[in-house]
Amino acid sequence: MKLCIAAFSFSLLSNSFQTCTSFTTPDTSLISRTSSSERLTINYNIEVNNLESNNKLRNRIYKSTSLNVATLRNPSTTQDVVIDDIVPSPKSYLDEGFVFGLEGSGLSRPKGKKTNVVVEGDQLETRPYQVAMVGVTFFVHATIALFALNDLSVINQGNLLLTTLQAVATIASSWVIADLGSGILHWSVDNYGNGRTPVMGNIIAAFQGHHSAPRTITERAFCNNVHKLCIPFGIPTIALIRLLAGSSHPLVAVFFTVFCSLEILSQEFHKWSHMPKAKTPSFANKIMKLGLTIDRSPHALHHTAPYEGNYCIVSGLCNKLLDSSGFFRKMEHMIYKINGIESNSWKLDPVLKEKTLGGVYKLNP
Ligand SMILES: [Zn+2]
Ligand SMILES: [Zn+2]
C-alpha cells in the first residue's frame, strides 16, 4: 500500500539542532548552506511506501530551498526515514544552465497584469547615472554623425543634394540592418549566457527575465529602459569605428552611429510594443503604424515559449525572412556542433531540439 504524505514541514533552527536518531541525514556535500538565514523553513513532500516485509519507509524528499543539515529538528515519527533522493535547490538566474521559465527554475511568470523585477539589484526607478549614460551617449553619437556628414559634404564639394541623398540612403539601410542586428542580439542573449556573463550579463538577465515578467518593461522610464544597451553600443564602439574609418569614409560613421543608436532605442520600441495604444505616446503610435518600429502583434508572437522566433525588435521587418529561412536554428545547430551548448529554446522545447538536430530549421514548415 502506498501512502502519500504531502507538505511535511520541518522547522530548522540554526543553533538548536536536536539529533534525530531515526533520521538518516543526507550527504552534506550535496547541500549548500544559506548563511544569511538564522531560521529556515523547508517544505517536504514525502512519499511513503509501506513495504510489507520490514515496514521500511522510503521517502522522497523535494527540497524547496537551501538546507542546513545540522539544524534538522526531529520529525514527529518514530519510523526509519531514508532520504534517497535530493533535488538540487532552484538555480539563481546567475547560475550556469539557469533558464527563465523552465519548470523548476524557481521563477514563474506572474499571473495577471503584474510587474515583477526578476533580476536582483534592478529597479524600476530611474537613477541619475542612467540619465547621464544615455544623455552622454546620444550626444556623442549625434556629434560624431554631424562631423561625418560635414566630412561627406566636403568630399562632395558642397553638393547638398548628393550629400542628402547619400545620407538618407545610408540611414535607411542602417535602419534595416539595425533590425537584423536587434534580432541576432535578441536571439543570442535569449539563448546563451547568464547574469554572470562578462559585459553582456545584465543585458542577458534583462532579456531572459523579460519572458517571465513581460509587463515590467512598460513601467520603465526611457533612460532606465535603454541604459544597459549603452554599454555594447556606446561611445567606445562608435569612437573606434570613427577612428578606423577616418574622415575619408564618413558614411561608415553615419551608418554605425545610426545603427548603434537604433540598437539602444530598440528597447524603447520594444516597450511601446508591450503598451496599449491609449497609453503609448501618439508619435510612437504613428511611427509604429508606418512600420518604422516593431508593432504589437508581431512582437506578441515572440512571447510564447520556447521563444524561438520573431526576435527582431527595431522594425520587425526581418522577422519573416529570418524565421522562414531557419536562420536561428541553423546557428543553434552550428554552435551545438562546435561546443555542445544547447540553446535555451531547445531546453524549453525538446521537440524543437529534435527537429533542429534532424535538419528541420524552418519555423512552422
Ligand atoms: Zn526574448
Ligand atoms: Zn517583449
Q: Which ligand is nearest to the CA of 206?
A: 1
65 pLDDT higher than 70? no
Q: Report pLDDT for 205.
A: 87
Q: How far is ligand 2, taken at its centre, from the CA of residue 340, in Å? A: 28
Q: Which ligand is nearest to the CA of 275?
A: 2
Average pLDDT over every residue of 302-325: 95
Q: Report pLDDT for 206.
A: 87
Average pLDDT over every residue of 186-196: 92
Bond from prior residue into 306 cis (ω within 30 degrees of 0): yes
Q: Report pLDDT for 75.
A: 46
Average pLDDT over every residue of 76-97: 54
Q: How far is ligand 1, taken at its centre, from the CA of residue 127, in Å? A: 25
Q: How far is ligand 2, taken at its centre, from the CA of residue 191, in Å? A: 15
Confidence of residue 201 (pLDDT cuts 50, 70, 90): confident
Average pLDDT over every residue of 97-111: 57
Residues in the chain: 365
Q: Report pLDDT for 363.
A: 83
Q: How far is ligand 2, taken at its centre, from the CA of residue 296, in Å? A: 9
User: Cβ neighbours of residue 211 under 8 Å, at least 6 residues apart?
Assistant: 100, 101, 109, 190, 303, 305, 307
Confidence of residue 104 (pLDDT cuts 50, 70, 90): low
Between residues 49 and 273, the one the model is more confident about:
273
Query: Quick one: cell of 302?
Result: 515572440
- Cβ–Cβ < 8 Å for 77, 22: yes
Between residues 29 and 318, the one the model is more confident about:
318
From residue 319, how far is each of 68, 100, 136, 256, 334 by CA, in Å? 49, 23, 31, 21, 20
Percentage above 90 pLDDT, the chain:
58
Q: How many beta carbons lie within 10 A of that of residue 204, not counting itself?
A: 23
Q: How far is ligand 2, taken at its centre, from the CA of residue 270, in Å? A: 6
Q: How far is ligand 2, taken at its centre, from the CA of residue 139, in Å? A: 27
Q: How far is ligand 2, taken at its centre, from the CA of residue 297, in Å? A: 11
Q: How far is ligand 2, taken at its centre, from the CA of residue 217, in Å? A: 8
Task: Please state the φ and ψ torsions of residue 231, each to the nearest 5 degrees.
Answer: -75, -60
In angstroms and rounded to an integer, the radius of gyration of the C-alpha atoms of the chain is 27
Q: How far is ligand 1, taken at its centre, from the CA of residue 208, in Å? A: 6
Q: How far is ligand 2, taken at its centre, from the CA of residue 189, in Å? A: 13
14-37: per-residue pLDDT in tens?
333 333 333 333 333 333 333 333
pTM given for the model: 0.71
Average pLDDT, the chain: 78
Q: Report pLDDT for 24.
A: 36
Q: How far is ligand 2, taken at its centre, from the CA of residue 303, in Å? A: 6
CA–CA gap between residue 144 and residue 152 (Å, rounded): 12
Q: Report pLDDT for 21.
A: 32
How would you class 327 by CB atoms within 10 Å of its CB: exposed for 0-12, middle for 13-18, buried for 19 or more? buried
Q: How far is ligand 2, taken at its centre, from the CA of residue 210, in Å? A: 7
Q: Which ligand is nearest to the CA of 316?
A: 2
Q: How far is ligand 1, taken at its centre, from the CA of residue 328, in Å? A: 13
Q: How far is ligand 1, taken at its centre, from the CA of residue 89, in Å? A: 25
Between residues 306 and 6, the one the model is more confident about:
306
37-49: per-residue pLDDT in tens?
333 333 333 333 3
Q: How crowded is the C-beta side of 268, counted as CA atoms within 13 Å?
A: 20
